[in-house]
Homo-oligomer: A and B are copies of this chain.
């Protein structure tokens, strides 16, 4: 029971399932490490540095407000880097959405794009979505985001995280996400396969919705 109520601060339990917590990343160069679902890699306020490379799984960058609300700032997908200079501090908590495989890279990687820049981009992208009006356009936008990431697959897209993550990310509630997905299904835009997997049937229709140009 990691997230009894997703709008409540993280339970202490998750601490014990966080193998990376306060370890020296330099100690294990290049070796793949397994990080359990819901584990915390870094807490907001932790200091760097080092460079992690996400091989498999999904991470989320989140910010908890004092009154327990959670805001998902963005997700990290396989092949993405988390590179923070020594002495710099994390401005978000980094958690594993799913079980992950992560490598600690050795070189300080001066050539890499820094985590600050990456996070800023993700935050602004999220902001542009959450800032726009209708929830339906946000969900449509997110499905298209996912589909761009799953190119080469069998045309289906899978999201390995619960509806609550999606809701916190898009600034809405789980029930509303369900309703939007159901609406897409009724309109013939998507074909649900499993609860966390679907096939996009009409990408253009979704794109139209994503831009708030409602198509009746």
Q: Which residues of B contact A127 (CB under 8 A)?
A: 63, 71, 73, 123, 126-127, 130
Does any Cβ of B come within 8 Å of A151's Cβ?
no
Whether the Cβ atoms of B132 and A130 lie closer than 8 Å is no
Does any Cβ of B come within 8 Å of A91's Cβ?
yes
Could you say how many copies of this chain the assembly holds? Answer: 2
Q: Which of A66, A127, A131 has the most CB of B within 10 A?
A: A131
Q: Which of A63, A92, A116 has the most CB of B within 10 A?
A: A116
Whether the Cβ atoms of A128 and B91 lie closer than 8 Å is no
Q: Which residues of B contact A121 (CB under 8 A)?
A: 91
Q: Which of A114, A127, A130, A211 has the most CB of B within 10 A?
A: A127
- What 1/0 flags go to A165-177 for Cβ under 8 Å of B? 0001001000000
**Given known contacts A71-B131, A211-B67, is B126 in contact with A116 (CB within 8 Å)?**
no
Does any Cβ of B come within 8 Å of A120's Cβ?
yes
Bound: A171/B134 CA distance, A: 11
Q: Which of A88, A123, A124, A126 has the most CB of B within 10 A?
A: A124
- What 1/0 flags go to A88-102 for Cβ under 8 Å of B? 100110000000000
8 A-B contact pairs sorted by A residue (CB < 8 Å)? A63-B124, A65-B128, A71-B127, A71-B131, A73-B124, A116-B116, A119-B124, A130-B131
